[in-house]
Structure 1
Amino acid sequence: MVVDVRGRVLSARVRGAGPAVVLDCGGAGAGVDGGWGPDLEELLAESRTVVSYDRAGSGRSGGEARRTVAEMADDLRELLRELEIRTPAAFVGWSFGALVTQVYAARHPEDVAGLVFVDPTPTGERPGSKVMQRAGFTATPLLLRMSARTRELGRALRHMRENIAEATETVERAGLPAVPLRVLRASVRPKLPKAQAEFQDRSLRELAARSPLGEFVLVDGASHNIPWERPESVVDAVRSVMSG
């Protein structure tokens, strides 16, 4: 279905019945056309109302992409109101989508019953040269946009550095609600310098500690594509935060 949200037409899918689970996909934000893999939504929909959507400017959703994470989070809130989804709900954010769900939870804590962050984009102060970091954040989206297969992801990530800084500041200032929270981290990681690997691990553990009901979970045998490779781990995390 398509929904008019603040001047943009967003594509969304609602399936199942029961307490609501809201899925926010990764960098490209295209969750409706298989962004979460073939099994995850079906498993969740056996006992829950499952909402997936494409952020503005991605997938089947129209308009230009929102530049700030706060705008993305506010789009999501308005979408849920238009769909008449009952809150509080559980929110699941994968990769970049975890930035959106963190900012959503910080801005609208009354809507949130539980949080699951699936191999989330790390936040906080990164190690290494600031010049090299800026160069990397600039070059990566440009390289992705050179291929038709990754062009949409490249467009979505062109403000990644600013988006990470915004999400970091928002959560530091407002905090996250004291709800059940799970942070799932992939055990299969790309080879990184030691300082970078330690930063990523520390960032995810600190995210789990932002709620007194938070837990860090290492997902064995899975890469960043946890929803495709180990969907049951996400389902278990959702069940855990919704029963906690």
Structure 2
Amino acid sequence: MQIEDVRVYGESGPPVLLLPGGAESCDGFFPGLREGLTTRAQVVEHDRPGTGTSTADGSLAGATAALSALVERLDRGPVVVVGQSLGGAVGVLLARDHPEQVAGLVLLDPTPINDARTCKNVERTASVLAKLAAVPGVRRLLASGLRAAALRNTGDLRPDCAAALARTANLDLPTLGRAVRGLTDLARGLRESDLPQRPAVVVTADRAPDHAVHLAHRRLATAFGGEIRCWPGATHSVHLDHPDEVLATVRELVDLVAAAT
């Protein structure tokens, strides 16, 4: 089914809203996930304003309002949110701002919106890269270096995951800079005590247990009353280097939500 800028796959089961990382398009971002879910869920793909193929202006601060309107328009909520990186942070904010529209969450190495210091570093880095990308000669060198770094370990990935990584390695740095603008202020305004109790799994990359991001992820899981998972060798792109485990985790949470309705 296609409704304007929204694609819905599957006829029954809980709706699952996919939120890609950065400013990426939803199309092809989560290899195998849509196909693996449509027998038990309705998978919703949508590029929110300011990201992906959307032609509408949008900001990170307005993301939850836009997604809330989407859920209302579809009239299929509440949704299970699956978000990676910045998409995971948006999922957290959606649950805080519109808890009645979120039935559960799977957060895949989410940007730690509950850690203002880390978010400040992320926003500052993205802003610097965006400014450098405005310089034509520097833009080519920067894009080439970032792409080479991203593709260094594609040989270990499943072919469809390697192809997805190759697509996302072509970063549009100015768009990414705009997509994370305001991240620090949003992080400063988030209180973990404001998050609702929901079935939730926070999947964190394989970092040291005392790493700031790992600790922030653990606090997020606790705030939702959920759990944290970490698989050996998982990177920030956990949806690509552990796609089978991600699919199994989302299926598990979808089944849990379905059983409760």
Structure 2 length-normalised TM: 0.74
1:162 Cα deviation from its structure 2 partner? 2.1
Q: Quick check: 1:231 aligned with 2:250? A: no
Q: Quick check: 1:205 aligned with 2:218? A: yes
Task: State the distance in 1 between where 2:102 and 2:177 align.
Answer: 26
Task: State the distance in 1 between where 2:133 and 2:234 align.
Answer: 23
Task: State the distance in 2 between where 1:154 and 1:221 align.
Answer: 30
| TM-aligned CA distance change 1:15 to 1:240, over 3 Å | same
Task: State the distance in 2 between where 1:88 and 1:163 align.
Answer: 25
Partner residue, 2:40: 47
Number of residue equivalences: 220
Task: State the distance in 2 between where 1:104 and 1:75 align.
Answer: 10
Whether contact under 8 Å (2:192, 2:223) holds in the other structure is no
Q: Quick check: 1:180 aligned with 2:169? A: no
Deviates more, 1:52-61 or 1:114-123: 52-61
1:57 Cα deviation from its structure 2 partner? 2.9
| TM-aligned CA distance change 1:44 to 1:144, over 3 Å | farther
Q: Quick check: 1:13 aligned with 2:11? A: no
Partner residue, 1:107: 97
Whether contact under 8 Å (2:50, 2:59) holds in the other structure is no
1:167 Cα deviation from its structure 2 partner? 4.0
| TM-aligned CA distance change 1:216 to 1:43, over 3 Å | same
| TM-aligned CA distance change 1:209 to 1:174, over 3 Å | closer
Whether contact under 8 Å (1:103, 1:167) holds in the other structure is no
Partner residue, 1:6: none
Q: Which of 148, 167, 171 pairs up with 1:150?
A: 171
Structure 1 length-normalised TM: 0.78
Partner residue, 1:91: 81
1:2 Cα deviation from its structure 2 partner? 5.5
1:230 Cα deviation from its structure 2 partner? 1.7
Gaps of 5+ in 2: 145-169
Q: Quick check: 1:30 aligned with 2:25? A: yes
* DSSP-derived class of the 1:79 partner: helix
1:92 Cα deviation from its structure 2 partner? 1.1
1:58-69 alignment runs, 5 A limit: 58-64=51-57, 66-69=58-61
| TM-aligned CA distance change 1:221 to 1:122, over 3 Å | same
Q: Which of 47, 51, 56 pairs up with 2:49?
A: 56
Gaps of 5+ in 1: 4-10
1:53 Cα deviation from its structure 2 partner? 1.1
Task: State the distance in 2 between where 1:176 and 1:205 align.
Answer: 14
| TM-aligned CA distance change 1:106 to 1:144, over 3 Å | farther
Whether contact under 8 Å (1:95, 1:119) holds in the other structure is yes
Give structure 1 regions of 4+ aligned residues with deviation exceeding 4 angstroms.
132-135
Measured on the aligned residues, the alpha-carbon RMSD in Å equals 2.8
1:49 Cα deviation from its structure 2 partner? 0.4
Whichever structure has more helix as a proportion of its residues is 2
Residue 229 of structure 1 aligns with an amino acid whose one-letter code is: D
1:75 Cα deviation from its structure 2 partner? 0.9
Whether contact under 8 Å (2:23, 2:50) holds in the other structure is no
Whether contact under 8 Å (1:16, 1:49) holds in the other structure is yes
Residue 10 of structure 2 aligns with an amino acid whose one-letter code is: G
Identity across aligned pairs (percent)?
Answer: 32
Task: State the distance in 1 between where 2:122 and 2:240 align.
Answer: 30
